Structure 1
């Protein structure tokens, strides 16, 4: 019988919701990871890796926030690849994907989930 490993996740408190401007990205240093946080409104915050999947440059928090239909997006400020903020799917290049992280708001604070 092969033992199974249970993957667990950790929720980390990052900042207050009101620390972020709606419609803009900000970068947060969480441990040794840079995470782009994007607040759309009081109840909707997204988190993704800050490094551009195409170039590796730490720029995603400076990306252009928008949408494709009802899907919130961020476009890389370097080559303008457009990513779904919820899934990380790249709309402009199927070979690329942006790593995203689940978020939640607890008591006015943004928490980001990371794999253990």
Structure 2
């Protein structure tokens, strides 16, 4: 197995720059990524598109962040479908998902890795 290189992790911003329960968009690895910080200082990253929206424009980063039981989610701005912030899976339609990306915080800096591989 080849060793992982540091270029897999792209620094995006400082965690203190992220508003709690609000999304921001960043270009990471050539993709528009929606980044969210929750009240417990967890940071999540999803692909910034709404698969239910027909028109282009505002992405999932403009959605409302909340919780269903213990599942942190963002509700899409267009149709309010909830997407699990950890996996990108739609909580309302299990056949739909958005890409989820690996995230880590190092010395207060949010680092975004590559797309997570779906667990079959």
Q: TM-score, normalised by structure 2?
A: 0.82
Q: Could you tell me how far 1:19 is from its partner in structure 2?
A: 1.1
> Which residue number corresponds to residue 52 of structure 1?
50
Q: Which moved more, 1:20-29 or 1:48-57?
A: 48-57
Could you say what secondary structure the match of 2:80 adopts?
coil
Greater strand share, 1 or 2? 1
Could you say what secondary structure the match of 1:102 adopts?
strand
Unaligned runs of 5+ residues in structure 1 are: none
Does the CA-based 8 Å contact 1:43-1:105 persist in structure 2?
Answer: no
Q: Could you tell me how far 1:74 is from its partner in structure 2?
A: 0.4
> Which residue number corresponds to residue 30 of structure 1?
28
Could you say what secondary structure the match of 1:89 adopts?
coil
Listed one character per residue, the Cα deviations across residues 16-48 of structure 1 (whole Å, up to 9, x for unaligned) are 101110111111122531110001146410000
Equivalent residue pairs, number: 111
In the TM superposition, 1:57-72 aligns within 5 A as: 57=56, 58-72=58-72
Unaligned runs of 5+ residues in structure 2 are: 116-120
For 1:14 and 1:21, how far apart are their aligned partners in 2?
A: 14
Q: Could you tell me how far 1:55 is from its partner in structure 2?
A: 2.8
For 1:100 and 1:19, how far apart are their aligned partners in 2?
A: 21
Does the CA-based 8 Å contact 2:28-2:112 persist in structure 1?
Answer: no
For 2:106 and 2:39, how far apart are their aligned partners in 1?
A: 15
Does the CA-based 8 Å contact 1:17-1:42 persist in structure 2?
Answer: no
Larger radius of gyration: 1
Q: Could you tell me how far 1:94 is from its partner in structure 2?
A: 1.9
